[in-house]
Amino acid sequence: MESVGRLWRSCCCYDGVQAWMFFFMVGIASLMFLVWSKVGEFRGKRTGLPLGTLGWPLIGESLEFISCGYSTRPESFMDKRRLLYGKVFKSHLLGSPTIVSTDPEVSKVVLQNDGRIFVPSYPKSLNELMGKSSILQLNGNLQKRLHGLIGSFLKSPELKEQITVDIEKYVLDSMKNWKDGQLVYIQDETKKIAFQVLLKALMSLNPGEELEYLKQEFRKFISGLVSIPVKFPGTRLYKSLQAKANMVKMVHRIIQDRGTKCDSNKTREKDVLDVLLHETNSITGKFTIDLISDNMIDLMIPGEDSVPMLMTLAVQYLTSCPLALQQLQEENMKLKKSKEEKKELVTWSDYMSLPFTQDVITETLRLGNIITGVMRKALQDFEVKGHLIPKGWCVFTYFRSIHLDEDLYDSPYKFNPWRWQEKDPTGSSFTPFGGGHRLCPGLEIARLEASIFLHLLVTQYSWEAEEDSVVSFPTVHMKNRMPIKVKKITAHS
C-alpha cells in the first residue's frame, strides 16, 4: 500500500488528470485480463476445449514460454501446465490461441492428418522468408510429390554409397589440422562438415568460392528466421530476404550451367537438383525453376542446424558418460581393424550396422531434442481423445516433453544408450524427425553422417572437454561451441 501511495502522490504532483488516467488504464487492463481468462475457462467448459489459460490479452503466455526456453529446463513451461491441466492443454503462444500436446498419441494423430485437417504454422518472419513454394509450407499433391522425390533419392543406396566417400573426405580434411593439445570447437567443425556434405548432395557443389559464398549468404539468411516481422531496410528480416535473393540467383546460374552441359549419357541423377530438374522436364512435371531454387535454399537449413548439433551433442553426452564412450570406441575399433585386415573399405551399410553406435545416436536424439516440436493450424474443428482443437487454432506437438516423460522413459534426463537395446525406437513416443507426410526426408543421411563422424573421431582421437552447456532457444546450440582438447591415438596408446 505504501508503494501505491508513493506512486499516487508522485502522479498527483505532476498532473491530476494523468494520475486518474494511469489508474483507469491499469483498471481496464486488469479487467481485460480477468475477462480474457474467464472467457477462456467458459469456452473450455462449453465447447470441450482442453483445460488451461489464455494468459494476457494479445501476448498470452508467450513471455513465460520464451523465458523458459532460455533456461536449462525449457520444458518446465509445459511441465507446470501438465500438472495443472493434463498432457493436452490450451494456451496462447506466439500470437495464436494454441492447443499444446505432450501426449504421444494425440501428437501422432495430428502429424498423420497433416495436409488434410492441419497445415503448417510458422512465425510471420519465417513465412516471409520461406515463401509459398517452400516444401515447409506447400500442401496437397505438390508437397507430397516434392517430399517423395527428395526422400526417395536421399534414401537410395547409390547416394549413400557416394555420400559416404564424401563425408569421410570432409571429416578427415577437418581433422588433419588438429594438433595434440589443441582446443577444437566441435560445433564449428561439425557445421563446416555438414554444410559441405549437404551442398554436395543437393547440387554436387564442392568446396570452393561458390560454396563459401553460399555459406556467407546463408548465415545472413538464417539469422532472420526468428525475427520481428518488419522488412524495412536495415532490419534483420530485410537483410535475410536480400541474402536469400542472392542465393536464389546463384542457384539459377547453377541450373542454367547444368542445362548447357547436359550429359545425354547420364543414366541416373547424381544429386537432388538433378532429381527435381528431371521432374520439371517430364510430361507431368509441375515444378518450376523458381520452386526448385527456393527449395534448394530451404533444404540447406539442416546443414546449418540439425545435423551438426546431432554430432556435437553426441560428443557432449559421450564425454559425460565414459562407459558409453568406451563401448562405442571398442565397437568402432573392432570394425576398423577388421576392415584393415581384409584390406576393405568401410561401407555405408557397415556404419549403419553398428548397433551400439546407432543406440548412441538414438539416445542423443531423444535427450537432445534438436527439433523441440512442430506447430500446425487446424483447418476445421477436430476432436482427438476427447479434446477439441477448434478451427483456426494452432496445435503445438511438443516432442521434448514426450521424450523426457518419466512415464515413458526411466530416468529421462540420464544419457543411457543401453535403454534402446530393449526399447523399440520406432514407437509413437519417439519422434525426433517429426512424422506423417512431413517426416524429415534426410533422416537416414543424418544418421549416416553422425555414424561416420563418431567412427573417425573415436578411432583417431581421445579428448578432454572443457565446461559447456546446452542452450535450447531459439534453436538448440552449445553456449561455448563445445571446446575439447584433442590427442591423437597412436598404435601404442
Cite the annotated binding site by residue number: 440
- Cell numbers found for residue 461: 582421437
Angle between helices 209-222 and 186-203 (to 10 degrees): 110
Q: Within 10 Å of residue 256's Cβ, how many Cβ atoms?
A: 11
Encode burial over 354-373: b for 16+ CB neighbours within 10 A, e otherwise. bebbbbbbbbbbbbbbbbbb
127: left (phi over 0), alpha (psi -120 to 50) or beta: alpha
Cα 122 to its chain centre, rounded Å, is 13
Which residues carry a binding-site annotation for heme? 440
Is residue 233 helix, strand or coil? Answer: coil
Residue pair 91/100 in contact (Cβ under 8 Å)? The answer is yes
Is residue 57 helix, strand or coil? Answer: coil
- Cell numbers found for residue 107: 501428437
Encode burial over 452-478: b for 16+ CB neighbours within 10 A, e otherwise. bbbbbbbebbebeeeebebbbbebbbb
